[in-house]
Amino acid sequence: MQNVAVIVGSLRRDSINRKFAESIGKLASDRLNFSFVQIGDLPLYNDDLWQSPPDAVLRMKNEVEAADAVLFVTPEYNRTYSPAIKNAIDWGTRPWGKNSWAGKPAAIIGASPGAIGAAVAQNELKGLVTVCGMALLGQPEVYFTYKPELFDGANEVADDNTKAFLNTFIDGFAAWIAKTK
Ligand code: FNR
């Protein structure tokens, strides 16, 4: 089974993106093993901190490097991805020559209560992820309008169409990881 490091770009407790990622993790559990990478305790990027690297930074880099792939789950903030994701990605690219993201198979998904499902944020994030050397899945895309009624009390996907749609994504990502790893 492929291990996927999941990076959720929202830090808030009731994040729909976190709930969405957890639902997908349950649905994918026969194909992919999700581990959630904590990014909320990373300091804002500061090159000086490498003199005595923060534990949170080293932990995140180790977890990403140990994984077979990375899944970014981004909210949309003012038509772009969250600063928490940018901060985590910047830490991961350093120190120079020790880019934790390089060559990793990756996918981007995102949810919003709005109609276009974090599409603009995801599109912006694609450029960043690609320039950091990740092998980004192009299709299928997941622009998800989050509606609580699509999930049950255990946060499992309850709606058949949504389940089928997300299963297509999971299968595509699993195949992509097997092909590019
Ligand atoms: C938002 N939201 C938002 N939604 C959207 O579809 N497009 C946008 O550009 C924005 N902009 C935006 C800016 C800021 C600062 C906030 C806090 C929110 C709404 C956003 O999609 C909604 O709050 C989600 O619930 C955020 O995701 P999490 O935190 O629930 O995962």
> What is the ipTM score, two decimals?
0.98
- H-state helical runs in the chain: 16-27, 55-66, 83-92, 119-131, 160-180
pLDDT digit string, tens, across residues 59-97: 999 999 999 999 999 999 999 999 999 999 999 999 999
Instruction: Find the 12 Cα to ligand 1 centroid distance in Å.
Output: 11
pLDDT digits (tens, 9 = 90+) for 108-152: 999 999 999 999 999 999 999 999 999 999 999 999 999 999 999
CATH number reported for the structural domain that contains residue 172 in this entry:
3.40.50.360
Please give the pLDDT value at position 88: 98
Instruction: Report the separation in Å between the CA atom of 146 and the middle of ligand 1, taken as the mean of its atom positions.
Output: 11
What per-residue confidence (pLDDT) applies to 75?
Answer: 98
Based on the structure, what is the number of domains in the chain?
A: 1
Give the ligand 1 atom nearest the CA of 117: 6
Q: Which of 145, 149, 142 is nearest to 171 (CA)?
A: 142
Domain hosting 149: range is 2-180
pLDDT tens readout for residues 7-39: 999 999 999 999 999 999 999 999 999 999 999
Pocket of ligand 1 (CB under 6 A): 10, 12, 15-17, 75-79, 112-114
CA angle 124, 105, 64 (to 5 degrees): 90
Q: Is the pLDDT of residue 160 over 90?
A: yes
pLDDT score, position 8: 98
* Protein residue with its CA nearest to atom 4 in ligand 1: 76
Contacts of 39 (CB under 8 A, 6+ apart): 7, 8, 9, 11, 60, 84, 85, 87, 88
**pLDDT at 181 (0 to 100):** 82
> Which residue, chain included where needed, has tokens 């990076």?
7
